[in-house]
A and B are shown apart, each in its own frame.
Chain A
């Protein structure tokens, strides 16, 4: 654990909230319409079928109302955002080839260092574009693809045509439609049959410009009996005006494949994070979503898993921290459509300084799916009287032989716990971090060590109130 002295001098602004002065090669005008979408497609030199995909999605987006449930989205004015900014000519394969200001940003964020230490591949996405990408040679030889969806449109058009928008169709919801119309970069990962990637692949998302919208598009295809472990991190520069991150992430786990997807979300508070993440898992496959949600002022995120073949399993483990002026509306959805499938949803939330944490989840077990097992557990911890939490656990169990357990708890940090730790010389602030870290430990213990430490550190940072 990082010492308290280190934490207290730290703050988001100096560590993540800095902005650099990048001149863009191409940038769309403010607002969204057919011309903007066509311009994005032109800048990216896309084939006609991709432009059509975008334009169809745009129609859908424009026709739909803004959702009125969950977080209040009425302050979002779609005409005020920039939907595209291209910072570099192409994706670099070496950090030296990344434009210096941008390289500097990622250096400050510690990405190249992490890559040297324990990652099998790294992608770095800045505004709308992947600026850096690397993949270990032996994985390349085994046929693993790790590139941006944008590059994949040109290099692997058949795979993209076959999979993009199939798990999350553009018509799924307003923000999925928006993403499908103006999507920028995010990784495309393809793991051939039987290939097991043991070290994690990582992407890092960064928004730098004021009023920017980032439309991450991620697609992971794991062929039969393959394995992949993916981590994404994100931060943004701090501004008065809001920024928008509307992502679509699609995961396909074929028979016997395993996908483990970790997100450490640390956007600045001016970011609306509105994402659609969904996975399809076939026979014997397993998918795990691990979500550490610390940043963003308004967050709506409910990763889902559809279990489509027998013996498939799903795990959604989330941890959300809601501090001052934050609404973390998060949860998970699992849909059991086959027999002998199992799922586990564990959600932990911590609210402080008036923060609001909401758990919203769905468990659906279809009629005809036999022997289904599911565990849903949500625990909330309130650190003061002003903070709030609520849970909306929807359950639709149509099968009569399913085993479902559901537990929920709301707790407060007890005076006696604090006193016990303080009576051992531990300061009140450290004692509080310790109790909170202990509370989310069932989540953090699933993370690789470096990320567990980082997450605990981020939370301690938030709790000291140093983040402005």
Chain B
């Protein structure tokens, strides 16, 4: 079982320190929820993990199975088994879902002999996952995220997650902007994919998605640091009491 380790991670955006020493270890098969108020650094952590060029790591490390990936460009991190479901998936006009998924699938699943999967292998995998997640075939001919509704965008992210089979998936505010039906569909999708081979980090502001995807651990990110960790009861406490008590506990004013 592989582990994703985040060790004393400090990161800056445009010269401003946002992450101030994050420590977290996620094993394959575990579901971790990361909660926290707006501006606490949740999305920064997501982007930093995947290596967005705007987010600079100043100290600390990110390791998969003991190997540091902190110097890797985003594509190499993805190939190392890390996945990010975006809060705001990006539109790429003129590029069909099909050709995008194929390129991504080929990149991630190219074997040691540098041999990419065949078109048939890809088609089979794609058809299977589309069926699993109830995604319509017409999806494949549409341009990447162009004109997608909020729900469609999130489903497309989950489809990519299913197809790329990472060891660790970071779901960044996957519940944001979704009505309850869309949320259910997406959450069910994640549950179908989750299993012993996938470690999940759900980043969320609200507790509601955790009704559908049960976390093994819940953490609270506050002012760039994890200030509390616990089980599901912690998320329920946050739901009931909000984040105010954390402020008193840490004495930090944001």
Contact = CB atoms under 8 A, between A and B. Distances in A.
A439 B93 CA distance: 6
A420 B144 CA distance: 11
B74 A423 contact: yes
Question: Which bracket fits the contact residues of B?
Answer: 20 to 34
Interface in A402-457: 414-417, 419-428, 430-431, 434-435, 437-442
B200 to A, nearest CB: 16
A419 B74 contact: yes
B36 to A, nearest CB: 22
Given A425-B164, A441-B94, A430 B53 contact: no
Contacts of B54: 415
B94 A438 contact: yes
Given A428-B73, A434-B95, A420 B78 contact: no
Contacts of B90: 414, 416-417, 419-420
A425 B86 contact: no
A21 interface: no
A148 B103 CA distance: 44
A427 B94 contact: no
B11 to A, nearest CB: 15
A3 interface: yes
B103 A420 contact: no
Contact of A427 (B92, B93, B107): B107
A1 interface: yes
Contacts of A427: 75, 107
B84 to A, nearest CB: 5
Contact of A437 (B74, B86, B95, B106): B95
A434 B50 contact: no
Contacts of B95: 434-435, 437-438, 441
A438 B92 contact: yes
Contact of B50 (A5, A423, A435): A423
Nearest to A414: B90
Contacts of A435: 92, 95
Given A415-B53, A430-B103, A422 B74 contact: yes
Contact of A425 (B93, B99, B104, B143): B104
B62 to A, nearest CB: 14
A355 B125 CA distance: 41
B129 to A, nearest CB: 14
Nearest to A422: B74
Contacts of B77: 423
Q: Which of A1, A417, A421, A437 has the most chain B CB atoms inside 10 A of its CB?
A: A421
B130 interface: no
B164 A424 contact: yes
Contacts of B74: 419, 422-423
Nearest to A416: B90
B150 interface: no
Nearest to B54: A415
A420 B47 CA distance: 10
Interface of A: 1, 3, 5, 414-417, 419-428, 430-431, 434-435, 437-442
Given A417-B90, A438-B92, 7 more contacts: A3-B116, A415-B52, A417-B92, A423-B50, A434-B92, A438-B94, A438-B144
19 contacts: A417-B92, A419-B52, A421-B92, A421-B100, A422-B74, A423-B74, A423-B75, A423-B83, A423-B84, A424-B78, A424-B107, A424-B160, A425-B104, A425-B164, A427-B107, A428-B75, A435-B92, A438-B95, A442-B94
